[in-house]
Structure formats: C-alpha cells, structure tokens
C-alpha cells in the first residue's frame, strides 16, 4: 500500500534518532531529493523549522508526498549509501552530489579499437564499463598503478595515439604494447582487457586461475618469456591482495534479507551489496498467515529471483529447511553456484543486523501509513456522505482541442495509490462536434457496461466537471440499472469576479444534494480527490496529444497514394521530420523513394494555388 501524503506533525516523531538516509518523493512517486543524517528525526525537523534556506525546502509543503528512510550503522555508511542512490536516481534537487565531484570512477570502453582505462567523475549514459566509485583518490591510484605494471594497456588519449609516429616511454618500460605504431595482435590485446575487467570486478581468484593456466601452457610450449610474464603478473596481484586483506572486506555480490514480524504481518527488506558496496534496499511487506519465517523466506526468494539477476551469496537471518533444493534451483537459473548462508560474525553479520533494524523501522512506518490511509478514506466517506470508505475510486475525464480528436480517460486509485492496471483510454466514436455531455455519456456507458460484465465496478466514480456531468453519470447508471454505485462530480477552483487573486474552493457535487460540498485545502478529501482528478487529466491529455500527433502525420503523408508506413518512416527519418520533408526538393525525395512517387509527394505537399 502506498503511504498517504507525508505529514510532519504525524510522521517525524515516528522516525528513529539513528544514522541513515532519507528519500523524498513527489505525488507521482518520483524521487526528488536524497539526503543523509546522523539523527534522522532531528534532520527532518530542521526542514520544517525554518532553518534551511534552500529554495526547494520552502516548497516542501506542496512538493513532498512520501518519505522513505534507510537506516545505517554509521554516518560514513549513510554518506556512501546517499551517494550511491543519488548516482542511480539523479534526483533533481541533489545539485551538489549529483555532479559526482566527491567520487571517481574508472571507465573502460570495450567498443574502442584499443580500449584504455580513463578516470572520470561520473557515470555516463553509454555502453562503456564503469568501475567504482572510488571514495579515496589514493585507493584509485593504487589500483591504476597495479594495472599499469601488470597489464600493458595503452594510457594515451585517442588524439595522441593517432598523431604518434614512434613508441612512447610507456612501451620502452614494457607498460604498453604500443598499438599506436606497432603490429599488435587484437586477440592478445582483447585478452588483456578481459583480465583487467576481472581484476576490477573483484574476481581475483578467477583471474589468477586464468593466468596460471596461461603460464603453464606457455611453459609447456617452451615460450618461457611469456610464462615468466604471467608468473610476474600472478605474484603482483597476490602481493596486492595480501596488502589489502586487513583493510578491505571481500568484494562480494550478496543480498541480505532482514525480517521483522508481528503475528501474520511481516516486513522484509532486501539490502543489496555489489562488489562489497552497499547498493540500496527493496522493501517487501507481506501477510504470512501464520507461515514460519524459514518457509516464508524460501517461497519469497524463489519468487523474488524469477526475473532478477542472482548474486553470488544470499544472506539470511536463519537457516531454511529446504536449503538444498532451493540452492540447486537458484544455481540452475544463475548458471553457477549461489550460496545461502546465515552470517554469524564479521562484516556480513553487521550487514544482517542493519537489515533487521531497517525491516523493523519499515514495519512501523508502514503501520503508521496504513492507519493514516484508513483515516483518510474514512474522512472522505464522512465528507461526501458515502455508505462505506471508498477503497477503489475511479475518475473520468474528457480531452479535446478545437473539436478535434476527442478522447476519454479513466484512472483508478486503490487505497489512495494509482493502480495502472485499471487505467483505460477511449476514442470518442459516436459524437459529432464538441458536445461534452454526449462524450461523457459515451465513455461512462462503455466503462460501466464493461464493469458490469466483468464484475469490476469502483466504490466511488468521480467525473471531472460540475452538476451537468454528474447528471450524465446518474442517467447512465440508471440506464444500465446499476445500484449502489456512489457518484460524484469534482469541479475545479475558479477565479472569483471582482476580487483580485481570490479563487473559489474545489467543489464536489453529489446526487440528491442541491449545494456542492466545499473541500478545504490540505484536508484528506481535498488531497486525495484533487490528486485523482489531476492524474485523470494528465492521462487524458497525454492520450489526446498522441492522437493529434498521429493525425497530423497521417493527414499529410498517409493520404498520398503509394505512401505506406515504411515509406513514411523512411521519409521522416531521412529529412528529420515533416518540416524537412516539406522543404525537400523532388530530386532529394527521389533519393529516398521512387521518382514517380516522389513527384506525387512533392505535388501533395506543394499544391498549386487556384487561379483568381
């Protein structure tokens, strides 16, 4: 269930006083800010105490809809997790950290002719491989020095490589194969790139095994110099790993499952670690119906990884009864072994403790949200004088522009959250002109007929409009002999004449009631119903724009004999859009489509004016 709108007075006292990360979402669920705190409760109070001068903080009352927190053990962990989430979600108000100035990455583009490692400050939206982030520049320098010493990839930039006429110093000290001027075997270079990738992915064991096999094969073929090079690489990598052993956790890919339960209600959180770095968390709130935790976890893990990549290890709070069978099934999906374990000590045990605390926090946060949502639905029931709380609400909206391409849209909210599977779009088919009431009647008739056939009617149906639209809804329900369906019309606020800046309140019209019900801003009925109406309007407008765009293209090109979908697409791509097609000459059009058809297209787009 999606939480109701964040209420500082209600929700901040429920937050813990421990370190962690907080995630702010708007009404559409989009993350717009991620922050960290040593004391989550104290930090969130600062946002609403007037002590923060940032621009978006002053807009939080209208912007902030949902708040999620992830607990950590230390401030450092909160800092690293905050950066990871910012890099992943790119929230629009995280200006300072979003630029990536705090951390560094190694970039390797395998598509290049002779790939090289580059140090960059942020991940790009390309197909290159990125390794990191490196939180210490000294650690990054240590890694790059090892790679340069062991794997002779080029280090020069592309321009320098193109302009070079003889090998550089790196080649002379045997730290580059010199592909700029020397005949290097691409397969040999590609093997070096693969080995560097293994090292940066933390798969040192696989890398050493590969180098040992290479050394033994070279020695057996009497290529002793090549064998000695592989031996030196192995020794350098092992020496580096020994120096790091005390200071670094192993770079494992693992998912840690934390569980908190009270009776049949269970909250599970899955914390992901990739390359030994905490990468985020996923909340799973379940109703266990008395199932023991091991059985619940076994079923959950089996379903959770049906369409997700499997890590090397899965950490659990307690052992599973069918661990052997589950491990075998997961290994078959992954194509490799997947270890299920219950950590007892070290970093893994610390992560499990963190996951358990996050599950407990999420459980109580969810309980508060459920209670608040139930209260909000009861408030709507009282304000609109409904028979029951409206858990499923739908809203109907009509969209048209200058009478063209009219469409209808229906959106559905369940327990205050959008349910996209219940969204429907309608092309108006039986109405001529701009008769808004007739269009509303057509959409409502089609929606309610389908609902009767499938047993899928809402608790409350809202139409966008006023008393006239409500009358249409009542008539359709009577025509279809639908009983017990609650109906309402929501009228937008409007400017009041003679009073500058003044607006009327949002108003709800109900059957059998002469005066409209006024919705006070900030109350649960106002927030829930206006959000529903605005979502219906957005959905209808989006569909209407798609129809108009398609109609513009179809009326100009598709009405020309001989221009089908393939040739229309070829023309639009070749000339960059409809304007480019219109500006093209006959000769240019004939370069894309047959000459005779090009002449017809040109004539259709440049009609000869009629003589006066």
More confident site: 203 or 358: 358
Q: Please say if the pLDDT value at position 38 is more than 60.
A: yes
E strands, 203-321, in order = 254-262, 265-274, 277-287, 313-315
Q: Please say if the pLDDT value at position 96 is more than 50.
A: no
Task: Count CB atoms within 10 A of the CB of residue 63.
Answer: 16
> What is the rounded CA–CA span in Å between residue 517 and residue 466?
12
> What is the rounded CA–CA span in Å between residue 576 and residue 19?
52
Answer for the pair 111, 117: CB distance below 8 angstroms, yes or no.
Answer: no
Q: Rounded to two decimals, what is the model's pTM?
A: 0.49
Instruction: Calculate the average pLDDT of the chain.
Output: 80
Q: Please say if the pLDDT value at position 162 is more than 80.
A: no
Per-range mean pLDDT, top range of 260-269, 452-461, 573-582: 452-461
Per-range mean pLDDT, top range of 76-85, 200-209, 501-510, 543-552: 501-510
Q: pLDDT at position 412, please?
A: 94
User: Sorting pLDDT into bands at 50, 70 and 90, what band is 150?
Assistant: confident
User: What is the mean pLDDT of the segment spanning 462-466?
Assistant: 92
> What is 392-542's CATH number, 3.30.300.30, 3.40.50.620, 3.90.226.10, 3.30.420.340?
3.30.420.340
> What are 285's strand-pairing partners?
267
DSSP run (H or E) holding 408 = strand 404-414
Same fold, 8-98 and 392-542: no
Q: Please say if the pLDDT value at position 147 is more than 90.
A: no
Q: pLDDT at position 244, please?
A: 38
More confident site: 215 or 343: 343
Q: pLDDT at position 502, please?
A: 65
The string of pLDDT tens digits covering residues 280-331 is: 677 776 655 556 788 778 877 877 786 677 889 999 999 987 787 778 878 8
Q: pLDDT at position 501, please?
A: 62
Percent of the chain at pLDDT exceeding 90? 19
Q: For 15, what's the count of Cα atoms within 13 Å in the CB-facing half-sphere?
A: 28
DSSP run (H or E) holding 527 = helix 524-553
CA–CA distances in Å: residue 427 to residues 145, 397, 406, 440, 543: 64, 12, 7, 12, 9
Q: Please say if the pLDDT value at position 410 is more than 90.
A: yes
Answer for the pair 517, 508: CB distance below 8 angstroms, yes or no.
Answer: yes
User: What is the mean pLDDT of the segment spanning 181-205?
Assistant: 78
Q: pLDDT at position 511, please?
A: 94
> What is the rounded CA–CA span in Å between residue 610 and residue 426?
40
The string of pLDDT tens digits covering residues 417-436 is: 888 889 999 988 888 777 88
Q: Where are the domains of the chain?
A: 8-98, 254-364, 392-542, 560-605
- State phi, psi for 169 to the nearest 5 degrees: -65, -35
**Omega of the bond prior to 266 within 30 degrees of 0, cis?**
no
The string of pLDDT tens digits covering residues 240-250 is: 544 433 233 56
Q: pLDDT at position 100, please?
A: 39
User: What is the mean pLDDT of the segment spanning 70-85?
Assistant: 77
Could you tell me how far CA 541 lies from the centroid of its own chain? 23
Q: pLDDT at position 441, please?
A: 94
User: Sorting pLDDT into bands at 50, 70 and 90, what band is 217?
Assistant: confident
Answer for the pair 33, 91: CB distance below 8 angstroms, yes or no.
Answer: yes
Superfamily of the domain at 8-98: GIY-YIG endonuclease (3.40.1440.10)
Q: pLDDT at position 205, please?
A: 65
Q: Please say if the pLDDT value at position 477 is more than 60.
A: yes
User: What is the mean pLDDT of the segment spanning 448-460?
Assistant: 92
User: Sorting pLDDT into bands at 50, 70 and 90, what band is 390?
Assistant: very high
More confident site: 189 or 77: 189
Q: pLDDT at position 442, please?
A: 93
Q: Please say if the pLDDT value at position 99 is more than 50.
A: no
Q: Please say if the pLDDT value at position 386 is more than 80.
A: yes
Q: pLDDT at position 438, please?
A: 92
> What is 254-364's CATH number, 1.10.3470, 3.10.450, 3.40.1350, 3.30.420?
3.30.420
User: What is the mean pLDDT of the segment spanning 61-66?
Assistant: 85
Percent of the chain at pLDDT exceeding 70? 83
More confident site: 566 or 80: 566
Q: pLDDT at position 394, please?
A: 95
Q: pLDDT at position 257, please?
A: 94
CA–CA distances in Å: residue 188 to residues 114, 485, 545: 11, 73, 54
User: What is the mean pLDDT of the segment spanning 31-50?
Assistant: 86
């Amino acid at each position: 269930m999606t939480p109701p709108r964040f209420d500082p007075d209600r929700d901040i006292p429920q937050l813990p006083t421990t370190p962690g990360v907080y995630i702010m979402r708007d009404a559409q669920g989009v993350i717009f800010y991620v922050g960290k705190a040593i004391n989550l409760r104290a930090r969130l109070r600062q946002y609403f105490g007037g002590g923060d001068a940032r621009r978006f903080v002053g807009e939080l009352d209208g912007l902030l809809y949902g708040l999620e927190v992830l607990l950590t053990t230390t401030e450092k962990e909160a800092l690293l997790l905050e950066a990871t989430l910012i890099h992943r979600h790119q929230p629009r108000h995280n200006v300072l950290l979003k630029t990536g100035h705090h951390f560094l990455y190694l970039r390797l583009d395998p598509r290049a002719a002779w790939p090289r490692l580059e140090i960059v400050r942020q991940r790009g939206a390309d197909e290159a491989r990125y390794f990191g982030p490196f939180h210490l520049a000294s650690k990054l320098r240590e890694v790059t020095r090892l790679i340069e010493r062991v794997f002779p990839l080029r280090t020069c930039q592309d321009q320098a490589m193109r302009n070079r006429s003889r090998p550089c110093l790196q080649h002379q000290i045997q730290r580059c194969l010199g592909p700029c001027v020397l005949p290097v075997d691409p397969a040999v270079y590609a093997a070096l790139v693969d080995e560097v990738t293994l090292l940066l992915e933390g798969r040192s064991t696989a890398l050493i095994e590969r180098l040992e096999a290479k050394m033994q094969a070279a020695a057996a073929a009497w290529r002793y110099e090549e064998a000695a090079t592989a031996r030196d690489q192995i020794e350098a990598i092992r020496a580096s790993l020994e120096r790091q052993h005390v200071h670094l956790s192993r770079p494992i890919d693992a998912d840690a499952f934390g569980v908190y339960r009270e009776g049949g209600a269970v909250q599970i959180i899955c914390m992901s670690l990739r390359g030994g770095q905490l990468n985020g968390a996923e909340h799973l709130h379940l109703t266990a119906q008395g199932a023991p935790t091991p059985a619940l976890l076994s079923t959950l893990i089996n379903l959770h990884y049906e369409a997700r990549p499997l890590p090397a290890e899965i950490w659990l709070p307690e052992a599973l009864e069918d661990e052997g069978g589950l491990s075998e099934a997961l290994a078959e999906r992954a194509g490799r072994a997947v270890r299920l374990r219950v950590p007892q000590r070290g970093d893994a045990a610390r992560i499990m403790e963190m996951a358990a605390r996050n599950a407990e926090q999420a459980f109580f946060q969810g309980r508060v949200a459920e209670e608040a949502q139930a209260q909000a639905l009861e408030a709507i029931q009282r304000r609109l004088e409904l028979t029951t709380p409206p858990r499923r609400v739908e809203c109907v909206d009509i969209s048209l522009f200058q009478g063209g391409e009219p469409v209808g849209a229906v959106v559905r909210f369940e327990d205050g959250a959008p349910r996209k599977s219940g969204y429907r779009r309608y092309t108006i088919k039986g109405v001529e002109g701009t008769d808004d009431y007739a269009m509303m009647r057509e959409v409502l008739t089609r929606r309610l007929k389908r609902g009767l056939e499938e047993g899928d009617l809402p608790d409350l149906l809202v139409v966008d409009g006023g008393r006239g639209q409500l009358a249409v809804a009542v008539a359709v329900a009577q025509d279809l002999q639908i009983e017990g369906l609650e109906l309402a019309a929501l009228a937008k606020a409007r400017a009041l004449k003679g009073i500058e800046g003044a607006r009327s309140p949002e108003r709800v019209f109900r059957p059998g009631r002469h005066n409209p019900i006024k919705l006070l801003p900030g109350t649960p009925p106002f927030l829930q119903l206006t959000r529903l109406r605005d979502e219906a309007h957005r959905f209808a407008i989006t569909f209407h724009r798609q129809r108009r765009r398609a109609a513009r293209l179809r009326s100009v090109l598709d009405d020309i004999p001989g221009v089908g979908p393939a040739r229309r697409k070829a023309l639009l791509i070749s000339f960059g859009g409809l304007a480019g097609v219109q500006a093209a000459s006959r000769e240019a059009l004939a370069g894309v489509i047959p000459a005779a058809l090009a002449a017809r297209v040109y004539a259709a787009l440049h009609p000869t004016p009629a003589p006066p």
